[in-house]
Amino acid sequence: MIPISWYLFLSAALFSVGLFGVLVRKNAIAILLSVELMLNAVNINLVSFWRYGNTADMAGQVFSIIVFAVAAAEVAVGLSLVYSVYRRRNTVIADELDMMKW
Amino acid sequence: MHNTWLYVGLFLIVGIIFPVIPLVLSALVAPRKPNPIKQSTYECGLETVGESQVQFKAQYYVFALVFLIFDVETVFLFPWAVSLNIQPYFVVVEGILFISILIAGLSYTWRKGMLEWA
Amino acid sequence: MNFWSDPINSVYESWLLAFTGWGLDATLSQVIIYILGILILITFAMVIDILLVWVERKVVARFQGRLGPNRIGPFGLFQPIPDVIKLIIKEDTTPANADKFVYNLAPVLSLASVLFLWAVVPLAVNIFGVDLNIALLYMIATGAFGTLSIIMAGWSSNNKYALLGAYRQVASMISFEIPMVVSLLIPAIITGTLSMKTITEYQVNNFWFFLVSPLGALLFLIAAIAELGRSPFDLNEGESEIVSGYHIEYSGMKFGLFYAGEMLHAFTFGGLLAVLFFGGWHGPFSSEFPLLGVLYFVAKAMFGYWIIMWIKYTVPRIRIDHMLLFNWKFLTPLAFALLIVTALVHPLLKDQPQWIYILGMFLSNLLLGWVTIEILRGRSAKERAAVEPVAAVGHH
Amino acid sequence: MEPTQIIFLVTAIMMLSSAVMVVSSRHLVHAALWLIVTLFGAAVLFALLEATFIAVIQVVVYIGAIAIMFIFAVMLTRRELRDSADPWNKGWPVALALTAVVAVTLGSFLLKWDGLLKTSQPMAEGYDSVASLGTALISPDAFVLPFEVASVLLLAALLGSVYVAMNKK
């Protein structure tokens, strides 16, 4: 039997890797890729708590489906913003997007 | 007794390995004499101009966006469809409300001319 | 257990007995038997696939008033054997700038994504890979790998034509996935399950879903043809413009894998059409003799495959924007309308006698089809009215 | 060690190493392909957790739609496809330190929790996760509001993203 801690530690590690990616990546699309890693870590947590808790209560699974919808919405809007910025400024490097700095 | 997911997992593994067998067989018996002409990009005999990985049309991207949203929508519709038989009739209305909200989005993009091939 | 009434379980139990008799662990011997069973199932699919090469060549020849392969074996039946040998001993060239790993993985994934489907397709009453309670979604999920393999092939070949072909193919595959998924929801609504085995059994005990949802079957067929990238939706190949699409740089056995995958995919969609709408393995005596059921299944799948071929060799190719707009402006709204109508009518009539149910569902489908045709007629009349004066000027 | 534990460990190692490749890979298409490996690993974990519906949805939505979207977006903005320069910005040691702090905090919080070694009860016989999920999603005393709100969210995402992507101004 796998204790719940295995899932939780894996999810924490995945979350940290994703967080690191969000902080260090220059390319805006790569930042969004890292956000996906973090969302997946969250989903693993939700589903494992559902499985190790009361399986008759579907809240964990319903919540993770909502996370899917949120992830899809985030990707759609995020990538469109990246593309929009690319068309105006011809770059997707987050550090070079300095319109809001002054 | 019969473990469903064990079977699916094994099927995925075997299904990936199986197509590799003819490739390995071919690599063993087929001749290999590469030269620059053979390995060049095939463009009907013309010289390749510029980069090969060309930028693609933005219109494909819009269709991908619409697809992404509708794909997630169908995910919600599957549990709804399965439990229609055991639920009271007003549940149907909930699903139809769900569908029509998204159809409204599709018709908005249609009206605004964003589906047209620009 | 009797072999003729339940072949899989009888073989399974006798082998399990034999393996554990040799001192193997029960779980391990179960795994070994599973792998053997999977290999048999995949080999069955591949043998059909190799035969399909002959069928396809023979049928296209007949459509075009030729004889087709007729030299090797009776009716040229052994033609696929030299074909395969030729593919194996052919030199395999790789473009110099290709992304090697992705380039080699793509054809494997392409065929594998089709083979995955065979895990859930029920071949007979008790001959099936596995009875998954989410088989319909599993089917969509395997399609995701097919899409992925195409974009990998187009991108890694480092060729403009390949990339353009991949864009076109992927855009059309993902677009037509929506009406396909919605047409899958109709058997799911009627049976209240996503398991293909249960869906088939429901049809055996009651009625074929073709009767209650002819429009659904039609939507599934159209979406399947588009997913396959076959004519009239074969603009991913477009040999006059982009040579042959995403697999232009592939040669030898790697091309062979793409080709085999495409062939088997078409046949499998024929089979899925049978499973979902035409009763699967259902036929006279199919419940008593499962092996007969396999025969019925293959025959029905072959019929679906033949319809796909018939359309392929009859109608011309359409343009990519026409194809995508056909999906988003016509097929997807129609599919959702059908879903709404089915969801409204099915719960109302499900407790009525069967003939009322069938008649009601059939008539609702017919009504929706009629309304659609009327709307189309009105629109095209309007468009013609807008165009005709110009055409008249051109004539004078 | 039990077979499920071995499967878990193999999947976990595969997921973590491909996640590291996602954040370190120079080539964005490669990063997206590595992300697909991670996502598939998550699907395997969901199957291990017997959340069959979620496992398949993971493949359908993430690999079939989201990953394809990413590859499309990379190709749309392809001037930056090959980052010849460093893919990471200059402040990466700070970020690494920050991430280490977060990871250690998360880990210590987890270690303090007493339910850590909890194991799961076997699933009830004949349990159908799709049907119970459907019942939970649409029955009025459960999650029907999130269900409808999700469609509004998707509608907003559709309109917003198409508008932002195609706005010619």
| Tens digit of pLDDT at every position of chain B (118 positions) | 457 888 888 888 998 999 898 888 888 888 888 777 777 777 666 666 666 666 667 778 888 888 898 989 888 888 888 888 877 778 888 888 888 888 888 888 888 777 777 6
Number of domains in chain C: 2
Query: Which of the listed residues C63, C89, C115 is the one where a domain comes to its end?
Result: C89
User: Among C234, C248, C305, which Cα is nearest to C106's?
Assistant: C248
Cα A9 from chain centre:
17
Largest alpha-carbon pair distance within chain A?
Answer: 57
In a domain? residue B30: yes
In a domain? residue B79: yes
C347/D contact by beta carbon, under 8 A: no
Over its length of 102 residues, how does chain A's per-residue pLDDT go in tens digits? 788 888 888 999 999 999 998 888 888 888 889 999 999 999 999 988 888 887 777 888 888 888 999 999 999 998 888 888 887 776 666 666 655 544
HEC string of C47-114 equals HHHHHHHHHHHHHHHHHCCCCCCCCCCHHHCCCHHHHHHHHHHCCCCCCCCCCHHHHHHHHHHHHHHH
Do residues C40 and C83 both lie within one domain? yes
- The Cα C265–Cα C278 span in angstroms is 18
**Taking a C-beta distance cutoff of 8 angstroms, is the pair C164, C146 a contact?**
no
Do residues C57 and C105 both lie within one domain? no
Q: Nearest chain C Cα to D36, which residue?
A: C148
In a domain? residue C394: no
Q: Is chain A adjacent to chain C, meaning 3+ CB pairs within 8 angstroms?
A: no
Do residues C79 and C150 both lie within one domain? no
Query: Which of the listed residues C62, C89, C116 is the one where a domain comes to its end?
Result: C89
User: Among D21, C172, D11, which Cα is nearest to B12's?
Assistant: D11
Domains of chain A by range and CATH? Answer: 4-96 (1.10.287.3510)
- State pLDDT tens for residues D88-111: 777 778 888 888 888 888 888 888
Angle at D78 between CA D76 and CA D84, to 5 degrees: 160
Do residues B62 and B107 both lie within one domain? yes
Query: Which of B70, B75, B106 should we substitute to test contact with D (largest number of D Cβ atoms within 10 Å)?
Result: B75
Mean pLDDT for chain C?
85
Do residues C249 and C269 both lie within one domain? yes
**Quick one: pLDDT at residue D16?**
92
% helix, strand, coil for chain A, step of 5: 80, 5, 15
What six digits make up the tokens of B75? 């995910």
> Which H or E run contains C127?
strand C127-128
> Which H or E run contains C122?
strand C122-124
Contacts with B71 from chain A: Cβ below 8 Å: 72
The structural domains of chain D, with segments of one domain joined by +, span 1-84, 128-169
Which of D52, D59, D131 lies nearest to residue C144, judging by beta carbons?
D59
**Quick one: pLDDT at residue B46?**
65
- The Cα B79–Cα D134 span in angstroms is 4
Do residues C60 and C118 both lie within one domain? no
- State pLDDT tens for residues C379-390: 888 888 887 665
- State pLDDT tens for residues C249-281: 888 888 888 888 888 999 999 999 999 998 888
Contacts with D100 from chain A: Cβ below 8 Å: 16
A9/D contact by beta carbon, under 8 A: yes
Do residues C77 and C131 both lie within one domain? no
**Quick one: pLDDT at residue D163?**
83
The answer to whether the CB atoms of D165 and B61 lie below 8 A apart is: yes
- State pLDDT tens for residues D26-60: 888 888 899 999 999 999 999 888 888 889 999 99
Is the model's pLDDT at D80 over the cut of 70? no
Do residues C78 and C212 both lie within one domain? no
In a domain? residue C118: yes
**Quick one: pLDDT at residue A91?**
67
Do residues B101 and B65 both lie within one domain? yes
Do residues B33 and B74 both lie within one domain? no
Which domain range does residue B24 map to?
Answer: 4-39
Is the model more confident about C222 or about D129? Answer: C222
Do residues C19 and C114 both lie within one domain? no
Is the model's pLDDT at D83 over the cut of 70? no
Poorest-confidence range of B46-55, C6-15, C341-350? B46-55
**Taking a C-beta distance cutoff of 8 angstroms, is the pair C171, C324 a contact?**
yes
**Quick one: pLDDT at residue C62?**
87
Q: Is chain C adjacent to chain D, meaning 3+ CB pairs within 8 angstroms?
A: yes
Contacts with B104 from chain D: Cβ below 8 Å: 155
Share of residues in chain C with pLDDT > 70 (%)? 96
**Quick one: pLDDT at residue D40?**
92
In a domain? residue C229: yes
Number of domains in chain B: 2
Do residues C25 and C111 both lie within one domain? no
Is the model more confident about C299 or about B2? Answer: C299
Do residues C85 and C102 both lie within one domain? no
**Quick one: pLDDT at residue D10?**
92
The answer to whether the CB atoms of B19 and C107 lie below 8 A apart is: yes
- The Cα A101–Cα B4 span in angstroms is 56
**Quick one: pLDDT at residue D39?**
92
Q: Nearest chain A Cα to B66, which residue?
A: A76
Do residues B97 and B68 both lie within one domain? yes
Which domain range does residue C62 map to?
Answer: 1-89
Which residues sit opposite A27 in a β-bridge?
Answer: A93
CATH no. for D1-84: 1.20.120.1200
Mean pLDDT of C75-101: 83
